[in-house]
A and B are shown apart, each in its own frame.
Chain A
Amino acid sequence: MVNRGPIIHVRNLVKKFDDFVANDNLSFDVNPGEIFGFLGANGAGKTTAIRILCGLSKPTSGEIKVAGFDAYNQVDSIKRNIGYMSQKFSLYEDLTVYENIRFYGGIYGIKYQEIKTLAEELIEKLGLTKYRNTLIESLPLGWKQKLAFSVAIFHKPKIVFLDEPTSGVDPITRRQFWEMIYEAAHNGITVFVTTHYMDEAEYCDRVSIMVDGRIEALDTPAELVRIYQTENINNVFIKIARNPDRMTVEK
């Protein structure tokens, strides 16, 4: 690996929509293999920042590098080197388990023979052999989310972005899901994750907390709990995010 520095590098990121400042001078680094929790109140500007990091939206100003590529003019390279999943959109409901894997593998340019081998391995690993040809729409949510995550890292991206991946999932599946996240990070994939479950914030190596378009806190969960003199991240979050200055507008 040539890239020994941070895998995500953000300096003074500003994003404006007309005169509304959605991201107000964000600066942070994410290290390779790290699980980075990106927390914030509703409307704090998380989604805007994630869209920029994924190459889907252009920053107004600032220096942003994702997997070594520039967020202004190398967005295609960024997209090839990241994976993405959210609770709202993950898999095609009207395709089967196998078809979804084949589809995503194809999009990322993996050769058909390789997709076939890897897909069968993955289906077996997830215990979905019986459901290989089942439409996604008839699978339970928990299985879908586990499959969606596996598909998001199928092309072995450097970074995977997870936007509220476990929302509404049952408590046991939620933990199995986090074990998959740990495993991915263990295998060197950087994980950038948002969540409203504050216990999940504790599983991250470091977390940032956004309020009003700015990062108000960034550290390891243990250090944040110590600095803010509370019991857990939930209370840190409430302390920091309780009194936002602005009433933000949903995009």
Chain B
Amino acid sequence: MISIRAEHLYKNYGDVQALDDISFEVGKGELFGFIGPDGAGKTTLFRILTTLILMDKGQATVEGLDVVKDYRELRSILGYMPGRFSLYQDLTVEENLQFFASIFGTTIEENYELIRDIYVQIEPFKKRLAGKLSGGMKQKLALSCALIHKPVVLVLDEPTTGVDAVSRTEFWDMLKKLKTDGITIIVSTPYMDEAELCDRVALIQHGQIMKIARPDQIIEDYRKKLYAVKTNNTYQLIQDLKQFPGTNTAFPFGQSVHFTPIDDSFKINNLSAFLSQRSHQNINVQKIKPSVEDCFMELMAKESVNKRQES
């Protein structure tokens, strides 16, 4: 069963092509992620799906409702959490929630069950002005407000951007719970590690979807050999890996540098010898499984090669 369907969406802002032929489908009850950097087109796409702006070309439906023709009906079944905190800063926590409940013709009591787990965490502060909340609490209130009318589809635009690692983990736990209530969720994020928490993801860049798949499938499809290289001097290691004749890519990844060789005949020993010649110590080279971020970067590189060939 399809919940969201987008077909060949295009959107320009002047010369900037924000969406460049976007098509995808999201199943009912699916937790679907749009993963990509700022400027990839995530917000534009979400604004079209939530009937806030119009596309230039293409069409989209949510729960069978057309985002252009049926916008009134559609709005009543959508929950939307915009990227920028857009609650009323000068209303209290409770007043904000009441306000959102009443414009959708419901009450807090009626749908309390749905938001209970999230709202109890901020309820002790219900008399506090929304503008005076910390980042993590604002995020919880915004999610409560987006849910209070019991939406069929929840649209979350970068809910975890700028949020610390602990609050991010808590937020994803909340989404997992909501999924069990059967709500379809689409969520965007620039944090590649969050891809693994989605059922399926679209990797998006420059207004185009580079790939749609389950996170484990994305990792499976990675064809290159990938190695984690560690020595006692990371800065020097990056420089030296660039000098190594067999290097395709070398990018710092946390504690190590991720390295892909130009060809498959690559031998770990050759690299180790090269590095020890350049006076590295504690050299450790290991073949590893890629993360979604490795895959994203690989796809980015492919795209830019394609672009260069076209032009």
A residues near B (Cβ < 8 Å) are 40-44, 140-142, 164, 167-173, 175, 178-179, 182, 185-186, 196-199, 202-203, 221-222, 232-234, 237-238, 241-242, 247-250
Contacts and interface: CB of A to CB of B under 8 A. Distances in A.
B296 interface: yes
14 contacts: A41-B167, A42-B162, A141-B38, A141-B39, A170-B36, A170-B37, A178-B252, A182-B234, A185-B235, A196-B164, A197-B191, A199-B254, A202-B254, A203-B254
Nearest to B160: A196
Given A140-B39, A172-B297, A250-B133, A186 B166 contact: no
Nearest to B39: A141
A225 B252 CA distance: 18
List of 5 A-B pairs having minimum Cβ-Cβ separation, nearest first: A170-B37, A42-B135, A168-B38, A43-B134, A199-B254
Most chain A CB within 10 A, of B37, B191, B234, is at: B37
A171 B163 contact: no
B165 interface: yes
Most chain B CB within 10 A, of A171, A182, A202, A234, is at: A171
A250 B161 CA distance: 16
B125 A170 contact: no
A175 B293 CA distance: 12
Given A234-B165, A238-B169, 19 more contacts: A41-B136, A43-B135, A44-B164, A167-B161, A169-B37, A170-B37, A170-B300, A171-B192, A172-B297, A173-B37, A179-B238, A179-B252, A182-B235, A237-B164, A237-B165, A242-B166, A248-B134, A249-B134, A250-B135
Contacts of B163: 42, 196
A237 B166 contact: yes
Given A199-B253, A221-B255, A186 B235 contact: yes
Contacts of B238: 179, 182
Contacts of B131: 250
B144 interface: no
B134 A171 contact: no
Contacts of B252: 175, 178-179, 203
Given A169-B38, A178-B252, A232-B255, A241 B300 contact: no
B297 A171 contact: yes
A232 B165 CA distance: 13
B300 A171 contact: yes
B224 interface: no
Nearest to A35: B235
Contacts of A247: 125, 134, 137
Contacts of A196: 162-165, 168
A85 B55 CA distance: 35
Contacts of A171: 37, 192, 251, 293, 296-297, 300
B302 interface: no
A238 B297 contact: no
A43 B301 CA distance: 37
A190 to B, nearest CB: 15
Interface in B126-143: 131-138
A249 B132 contact: yes
B134 to A, nearest CB: 4
Nearest to B132: A249
Contacts of A175: 251-252
A112 to B, nearest CB: 34
B190 interface: yes
Most chain B CB within 10 A, of A44, A168, A233, A250, is at: A168
Given A43-B134, A250-B132, A202 B255 contact: yes
A168 B165 contact: no
B205 interface: yes
Nearest to A246: B134
A167 B39 CA distance: 12
Contact of A164 (B162, B169, B234): B162
A43 B165 CA distance: 13
Interface in B159-183: 161-169
Contacts of B165: 196, 198, 234, 237-238, 241
Contacts of B135: 42-43, 250
B158 to A, nearest CB: 8
Given A170-B205, A198-B165, A241-B165, A42 B253 contact: no
Contacts of A186: 235
Contacts of B300: 170-172
Contacts of B38: 141, 168-169
Contacts of B37: 141-142, 168-171, 173
